[in-house]
Structure 1
Amino acid sequence: MIRFLFAAVLILSAQAGLAKGISGTFPSIDGGTLSVEAWRGQPVLVVNTASQCGFTPQYAALQTVWDRYRDAGLVVLAIPSDDFNQELASAAEVKEFCDLNYGLDMPMTDITHVKGSKAHDFYRQVRAETGFVPRWNFNKVLIAPDGSVAETWGSSVKPDSRQITRAIEAYLN
């Protein structure tokens, strides 16, 4: 009987942890904070970005996806990172670069670590749930409305590709 109760407690604890989902609070590039939990119930496409990368033109596709799906409930979160040594020196420079070159108006964090021992807790949770770690800039993570990781993609998969938009559309109203 004790073994049964212990097993039941372990199962319920695991289920409670899964129900919680991926979480994280980031400093916003505009000041204040951005909380993944605030978007629970909506799909969230999270992309680690860099301003001086061969994939930087994907910012335009990210803005297109944001424009196309935000009214249906999608959140696109750009996370500038210098973990691959291709980001500008300050958040202010990143914001200016993105405004001038891409007209970005999606939520964006301050410069954040996405891999290694300094990785933001969000990315640690993604790794723990899926094994996924960004291997370069412009890796994508789709968080389902329940907070679980729905899918991940590498840099070469464009944000507006059918592969990604099909996954997003599955979670929209």
Structure 2
Amino acid sequence: MDLLKYEMPLLNGESCSLSDYRGKVVLIVNTASQCGFTPQYKGLESLYEKYGEKGLVVLGFPCDQFGHQEPGSSDEIGAFCEKNYGVTFPVFEKIDVNGDTAAPLYQDLKSAAPGVLGTKKIKWNFTKFLLNRRGEVIARYAPTTKPENLESAILAELES
């Protein structure tokens, strides 16, 4: 399943073709600015800075479906990420990840890598999907999995 076939709007409103990331190792994360896991932005940015030149890209997808923890506008989200965590990786406009209005990208991610007990739902903010250079999901990580704990899996993919 090619998960990099979608066009998605960035926070600034510009359209971004995910196919631009083909050939890279991609970490996709649904994010939120007012969540207990929000400090993971720092770890995600650290991974992006450390391995970006080697072929890693982190893609952030803000979502307000969990406890109304991403209430801001695109401008507010972007300012928050930059000011508080120095985020330089691509962050997209707010999307839904569950239900009838879930973004097609997330429908495909959940089908390709179901959660615990085969659930297709995203349980919370900062669920992470690691894709290989062909745009295929190779792993799904729980919100509690810290970005730094993904380093060995990312390195293995970068070196393969």
**TM-score > 0.5 by shorter chain:** yes
140, 146, 149: which one aligns with 1:158: 146
Q: Return 5+ residue gaps in structure 2 as ranges.
A: 116-120
- Matching residue's letter, 2:55: G
In structure 2, give the amino acid aligned to 1:167.
Answer: A
The aligned runs of 1:98-137 (5 Å cut-off) are 98-132=81-115, 133-137=121-125
- SS in structure 1 opposite 2:129? strand
CA shift for structure 1 position 131: 2.3
Q: What is the SS of the residue equivalent to 1:48? A: strand
Q: Which residue of 2 aligns with 1:55?
A: 37
Question: 1:72 is matched with which residue?
Answer: 54
1:28-81 Cα shifts (integer Å, max 9, x gaps): 012312222211111100010000000001011011011110000000001111
> Aligned Cα RMSD in Å?
1.2
How many matched pairs? 152
Q: Whose radius of gyration is greater, 1 or 2?
A: 1
Deviation at residue 22 of structure 1 after TM alignment: 1.3
Aligned match of 2:63: 81
Compute the displacement of 1:100 (Å).
1.1
Question: Contact 1:51/1:94 (CA < 8 Å) preserved in 2?
Answer: yes
The 8 Å contact of residues 42 and 171 in structure 1, kept in 2 or not, is answered as: no
AA at the equivalent of 1:171: E
> Which residue is 1:169 aligned to?
155
- How much does 1:138 deviate? 0.5
TM-score, L = length of structure 1 = 0.83
Aligned AA (1:56): T
Q: Displacement, 1:146?
A: 1.2
Cα distance between partner residues in 2 of 1:158 and 1:35: 27
Match of 2:118 in 1: none
Which residue number corresponds to residue 90 of structure 1? 73
| Structure holding more helix per residue | 1
Partner amino acid for 2:87? L
Q: Residues 106-147 of structure 1, C-alpha deviation per residue, up to 9 Å, x if partnerless?
A: 100011111111111111111222224321000000111111
Identity %: 38
TM-score, with length taken from structure 2: 0.90
Question: 1:22 and 2:3 equivalent?
Answer: yes
